[in-house]
Amino acid sequence: TWHEYGLDYAMVIMGKGKHFLKAGARIKVEEGLEAAYFYATKLDYNFKNSDTLSLYDSHFQQGHTQNIVDYITGNTDPINDIFGASTTSLAFDFGVVYEWRPDYDNFIYDMDGQRNIERKDKNKYKLRLGASILDLGGITFKKGNLSEDFSSDIRNWDIGNLKFGHNPVAGYDSIVNHTFGYANNKNTFVFSLPTTFVIQADYNIYKDIYVNFTANTAPHWLNVASQV
């Protein structure tokens, strides 16, 4: 979860005649509150039964902010919870819209001595195309005290009697710490925002009847462990 503060700017680049073009951008300040992720980069496992698990040379990337543990224990500091879990980061949105208006002249009128007034109450396009990139950026979070990547190579691990205690997140951290070896000691992780490419086509069939196509796509090049 995060707070987001944005400043938008948009403008019409081409506004008269059969071709209309506008573009906009938003710069955003991202203030992370808390985050957690778990990702297996290599996983080879076998359940002998419901309580006995073997893991063969498996590797896991994981992390969470310390305040998730603190929330459960009731050990909270409102100022630190809001401002201490992450560094302030920047993110961006960009978008552009093009409209083809072959009958633009039909939406122009004269009144009270004014000429070439454009009707504001009607869509004037036959075809509208839009493209945008949303949530381009990431937030750097501080890892919890016992929140590290780890490797595992264990046989017949009895998971039926695991005790997580009153704080399951802290209990999980303790189990991993005592059972497996940590793979690194990084104290931060970058959480990628849910970057999305959006394209849209809107076609006017007849009067106020339109057909629309919209695609929202998460790019594969952001296939990292710590992401939404």
Write out pLDDT tens, residues 160-181.
988 888 888 888 888 888 888 7
Q: In this prediction, what percent of the chain has a pLDDT beyond 70? A: 93
- Per the model's pLDDT, the better-predicted residue between 86 and 91 turns out to be 91
Mean pLDDT to the nearest integer, 1-12: 95
Residue type, 92: F
State yes or no: pLDDT of 20 exceeds 80.
yes
State yes or no: pLDDT of 184 exceeds 80.
no
pLDDT class of 72 with cuts at 50, 70, 90: confident
Mean pLDDT across the chain: 88
